[in-house]
């Protein structure tokens, strides 16, 4: 069985109560809940939060799938706790209905703009390979130009063959690099039960996101930009 897993803790340092803020006509976490509800392969939706207010609102959303509430304690919802560590520990221990053949499709509320086709393909890839899968996208600027500042005011390139050293600055000749975009994670429950390591990406497969709209909502400027995108999405 494939469950959607939507984590929405109430604490946020930069943007207060950000998961509950309005984005167009919906709460931020509501975008992910509705996305899960519209994904055919998902059978049930797990909403994980430490907030009774969030829970009551989530229960009021009209869904055609079962909504399961995973209530997180204060110790499991602090900013110091990484969601992957929580999944591997107390989440697996407390939610005994999960078995090793199940999978979780994690949808982070701060990444609301997803393409349904991508989700279907990620699930298909995860089921075929029996591996964890994460969405990714190309860096907007070539990483080959990356450098760091030195104390003497000079710079040090990240790569030995940096185009800033070789002079080969033609854009079409630069290697393409990608990064996780945080919008979709397909996780096999067995990998969580067996403690697959310190990172969610170990032995996982990347998937290239096709959505042209990307935002990781972390502060007020991100939220304003997301509200602009929401009118186009």
When divided into structural domains, the chain yields a total of 2
Provide the mean pLDDT of the chain.
Answer: 92
Residues 88 and 128 in one domain: yes
Check whether residue 165 and residue 184 sit in a common domain: no
**H-helix or E-strand containing 84?**
helix 83-86
Same-domain check for residues 145 and 51: no
What pLDDT does 90 receive? 86
* Reported pTM: 0.90
DSSP label at residue 176? P
Q: CA 8, CA 106: separation in Å to the nearest integer?
A: 11
Beta bridge mates, 132: none
Q: For residue range 42-52, what is the model confidence (pLDDT) as tens digits?
A: 999 999 999 99
pLDDT tens digits along 10-38: 877 788 899 999 999 999 999 999 999 99
Q: Are 119 and 149 found together in one domain?
A: no
What residue numbers bound the domain in which 161 lies?
140-176
150 and 63 assigned to the same domain = no
Tokens 């000749």 belong to 173
Question: Kind of pairing, strands 147-149 and 155-157?
Answer: antiparallel
List all residues 6 or more positions away from 56 whose beta carbon is below 8 Å from its beta carbon: none
């Amino acid at each position: 069985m494939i469950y959607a897993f939507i984590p929405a803790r109430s604490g946020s340092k930069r943007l207060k109560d950000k998961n509950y803020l309005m984005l167009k006509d919906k709460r931020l976490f509501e975008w992910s809940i509705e996305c899960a509800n519209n994904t055919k392969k998902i059978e049930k939706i797990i909403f994980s939060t430490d907030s009774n207010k969030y829970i009551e609102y989530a229960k009021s959303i009209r869904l055609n799938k079962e909504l399961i509430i995973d209530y997180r304690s204060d110790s499991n919802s602090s900013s110091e706790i990484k969601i992957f560590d929580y999944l591997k520990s107390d989440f697996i221990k407390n939610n005994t209905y999960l078995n090793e053949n199940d999978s979780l499709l994690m949808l982070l509320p701060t990444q609301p703009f997803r393409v349904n086709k991508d989700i279907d393909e990620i699930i298909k890839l995860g089921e075929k390979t029996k591996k964890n899968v994460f969405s990714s996208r190309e860096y907007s600027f070539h990483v080959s130009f990356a450098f760091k500042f030195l104390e003497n005011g000079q710079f040090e390139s990240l790569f030995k063959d940096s185009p800033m050293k070789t002079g080969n600055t033609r854009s079409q000749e630069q290697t393409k690099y990608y990064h996780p975009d945080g919008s979709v994670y397909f996780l096999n429950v067995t990998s969580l039960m067996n403690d697959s390591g310190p990172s969610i990406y170990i032995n996982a497969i990347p998937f290239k996101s096709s959505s042209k709209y990307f935002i990781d909502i972390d502060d007020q400027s991100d939220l304003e930009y997301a509200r602009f995108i929401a009118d186009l999405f």
